[in-house]
Chains A and B, each alone.
Chain A
Amino acid sequence: MKLQCHRSSLAASLQIVSGVVPTRTPKEILRNVKLQVSDGTVTLLATDQEVGIRVKLDGVETDSSGEVLLPTMRVSSILRELTDDTVDIEVSESSICIQSASSRFSLASEDPDEFPDVASFEGDQYFAIPGAALREGINRTVFSTDQESTRYALGGVLLDPGADRITLAATDSRRLAVAAVPCRSEGIEELANPAPVVPAKAMRLIERSISDEDEEIQVAINANDILVRCGQSTIYSRLVEGRFPSYAELITTDNSSIVTVEVDSFHSAVRQAQIVTSEESRGVNFTFRQGQLTLETVAADVGESKIEIPLSFDGEEIAVSFDPRFIIDFLKVLKPESTVSLHLVDGESAAVFCTDDGYTYVVMPLSKDR
């Protein structure tokens, strides 16, 4: 099998695909990426058997067909180091030869038949979602997942399909992020799985695979897995087992006072306060009073900080302590010039943060009662 590839586009595709390649696996063969050529179409495939991806390659000239396993790390490095516009790849019985104008690499290769298959996007029942909205929705939720939880559903993002939108929700039990994205249902009569939970790794991969924000992303949800087509990529993922918490019940704004803050100055104040925290004293004390928000920290053996920002608020004073990392995670994904409404009750209750465009974030406070 012989191919001539456009080096930088092959490198770019390989980089997307290698996001799936497991760095630690007892199954060595999964460290490879499979290159498949049939009917003039060239595809790269990778899988960790939980999540898989296939990416169609452009800029390849070939008359042959067949398959080969590329050792991911070495081939990526070669493509990165070379400067030529094109590279030639020639595959023989058990080795791959990569050649440019002045360099030649010959690599041993494993048997492509041993490589597990990656499902392709088939069927005509799916949700269609604008790329830009899906990317934003993923960025606004995926950070709240908990990979290490024994409750596996918390390691993924819930997709909650509605009539014309899908709500994305993620929680690690200390905070909850909920964002909705518009969608169009194509040919779906009945949902195969009304509450699919997609592993965080797959969500991040989908986000990275959205190359053109204007393109439409197709999401097909099956009982136990999900297939997503974005541009040249198809992503397959097994769904996470287990029940996701009833997230809507966790968002309550009863009896709360509302404070509106500007993202940029609030973010800056929290980052400043975080400087003087430690593992032992990681909380930042927020005091909302008329006309002013004060952030204070006291960390044993480290020091203290006090940051004040003006605030348009005229309710009763509220004092509450948060882990600043949780606040920063949220503010980081917002536009600096936008504003956020904080719904606060007291130092023991959940705080609900809302944006104008329907993004909701709930954080539980820290308290001293140890």
Chain B
Amino acid sequence: MILHVDMDAFYASVEQRDQPQLQGQAVIVGGTPEGRGVVAAANYQARKAGVHSAMPAARAKRLCPEAVFLPSRLDRYAEVSRQIRDIFHRYTPLVEPLSLDEAFLDATGSESLFGSSMEIGQQIKQQIADELQLVASVGVAPNKFLAKLASDLEKPDGFVVVDAGGVQQFLDPLPVARLWGVGRVTGQVFEQLGVETIRNLRQLPQETLRQHFGEQGQHLWQLAHGIDDRQVVPDREAKSVSHETTFAQDIDDLEALRAWVLELTEQVVRRLRRHKLLGRTVQLKVRFSNFQTITRSTTLPQPTNLTQVIWKTADRMLSDRLPANHLPVRLLGVGVSGFDHSDQVQHTLFVDEDLAAQTNLDQAADQIRDKFGSSSIGRGSGLLHQAKHTPQPNPDDLPPSPKR
């Protein structure tokens, strides 16, 4: 069984715990009371007023005028995140963090020591509450996909177990939009097909799915049947870091796509730098409007995590290595792999002033973003087409998992 542990309103809860006078108040992290910036997180009280993350602070202020606005303190959240991770590691070494506030655990091997996966899940939830005064929602299920759905089902303070025999019963009534990869466009196709719930989807012939969604149809079919054989892979073994995004509307303007490549690159390199990883291979993933998906990759002579280098490399692939006259683009992804675990440093003959300057630039930008939020500073090229919303980390990438 796999566990998915997801902290409830993590940033805001940490703030409320650290500052007891905030108890009982609506708390918004990120943005300022003057209405500048973007909401990074909101507690449930603020959410009741309609506030959610990535919302402009000005709008949040209008919806919830009594809310307390706090600057985000990523270092603090990272510290608490490590304490949570320490609790996980009491039960199993197989912990795969997805972000500061959620992780997959595979505790199957520890069941003879600590009890069933369900009991382990309860103990973890209890210890997080006792030792850290924070609330986690936990899902326990036969695989990652189901565990993540389960932890979300009764949030906040949820605890949902899906056992092997109950998978279909659990999935069937859920709306089809709950499936990973079902966004607006896919949703419209489902609407035309009269598919509302996962049950409806499951009853479609595989052939129909393939006709409408190509390769991804097979994947949707598997998810609808609760099939997902990705392993839990501890972070230190991460083989790649990637981000991808599916557009609300297919894009065929090269300049807009280039701006998106920059935006995705920024997400990837920040994660690389946070984990102090240097990668050698840059990958670009493109899905066209007919669901045909291609990937292109370039291997660099030197491993790097510089924004400029990785962006230029991905940008070159976008400009030079897509088929001529291609269809509009539905999904775009940027990834870096081939991490350098070398125990030696190659000295250089001369200081590459450009690389040195880029390193300083990245450091300064990271510090600004840590303090004022990820949209506080950006490169001009990324602003060109309001490439603003935050693409999600590819849940696929940390592990070298089977394709999903």
A-side residues, CB < 8 A to B, are 24-28, 146-151, 171-176, 245, 250, 279-283, 321, 323, 348, 350, 362, 364-370
Contacts and interface: CB of A to CB of B under 8 A. Distances in A.
A323 B315 CA distance: 30
B320 A370 contact: no
A245 B350 contact: yes
Given A150-B309, A150-B312, A174 B346 contact: yes
11 contacts: A148-B301, A148-B313, A150-B312, A150-B358, A173-B350, A279-B342, A281-B343, A362-B349, A366-B345, A367-B347, A369-B345
B358 to A, nearest CB: 8
Contact of B348 (A24, A173, A321): A173
Contact of A175 (B313, B349, B352): B349
Nearest to A251: B349
Contact of B352 (A27, A173, A279, A369): A173
B311 to A, nearest CB: 10
Contacts of A280: 341-343
Interface in B311-329: 312-313, 319-322, 324
B355 to A, nearest CB: 7
A282 B349 contact: no
Nearest to B299: A148
B342 A173 contact: no
B343 A370 contact: yes
**Secondary structure type dominating chain A contacts:** loop
A321 B312 contact: no
A368 B344 CA distance: 5
Given A146-B301, A172-B301, A279-B341, A26 B324 contact: yes
B308 interface: yes
Given A25-B320, A362-B349, A281 B344 contact: yes
Given A146-B301, A366-B344, A366-B345, 15 more contacts: A26-B320, A26-B322, A150-B312, A150-B355, A151-B352, A171-B349, A174-B349, A245-B350, A280-B343, A281-B344, A282-B342, A364-B347, A368-B344, A370-B343, A370-B345
Nearest to B326: A26
Contact of B344 (A148, A321, A362): A321
B348 A364 contact: yes
Contacts of A348: 347
B298 A148 contact: yes
B350 A367 contact: no
Contacts of B354: 150-151
B300 interface: yes
B336 to A, nearest CB: 14
Nearest to A147: B301
A369 B301 CA distance: 21
Contacts of A151: 352, 354-355
Contacts of B342: 279-282, 370
Contact of B345 (A150, A250, A367): A367
Given A26-B319, A150-B312, A366 B349 contact: no
A147 B316 CA distance: 13
A366 B298 contact: no
B332 to A, nearest CB: 17
A78 B322 CA distance: 28
Contacts of A25: 320
A123 B345 CA distance: 49
The interface centre, meaning the residue of A26, A174, A281, A282 with most chain B CB atoms within 10 A of its CB, is: A26
Contacts of A364: 346-349
**Smallest CB-CB A-B distances: 7 pairs:** A364-B347, A366-B344, A173-B348, A280-B341, A283-B344, A148-B300, A24-B321
Contacts of A148: 298, 300-301, 313
A150 B321 CA distance: 19
A348 B354 CA distance: 23
Contacts of A366: 344-347
Contacts of B340: 279
A175 B313 CA distance: 23
Contacts of B349: 171, 173-176, 245, 250, 350, 362, 364
A89 B308 CA distance: 49
B308 A150 contact: yes
Interface in B266-306: 298, 300-301
A370 B343 CA distance: 7
Interface string B170-193: 000000000000000000000000
A280 B309 CA distance: 22
A24 B320 CA distance: 6
Contacts of B348: 173-174, 364
Contacts of B320: 24-26
The interface centre, meaning the residue of A151, A173, A323 with most chain B CB atoms within 10 A of its CB, is: A173
B303 to A, nearest CB: 10
A171 B352 CA distance: 12
A266 to B, nearest CB: 21
A172 B346 CA distance: 12
Nearest to B339: A279
Interface in B334-392: 340-350, 352, 354-355, 358
A147 B282 CA distance: 15
A35 to B, nearest CB: 23
Contacts of A24: 320-321
Contacts of A174: 346-349
Given A150-B308, A173-B349, A28 B343 contact: no
A125 B328 CA distance: 50
A368 B343 contact: yes
Nearest to B340: A279
Nearest to A322: B346
Nearest to A368: B344
A365 B348 CA distance: 8
B300 to A, nearest CB: 5
A28 B324 contact: yes
A22 to B, nearest CB: 8
B138 to A, nearest CB: 36
A171 B308 CA distance: 21
A171 B301 CA distance: 13
Contacts of B319: 26
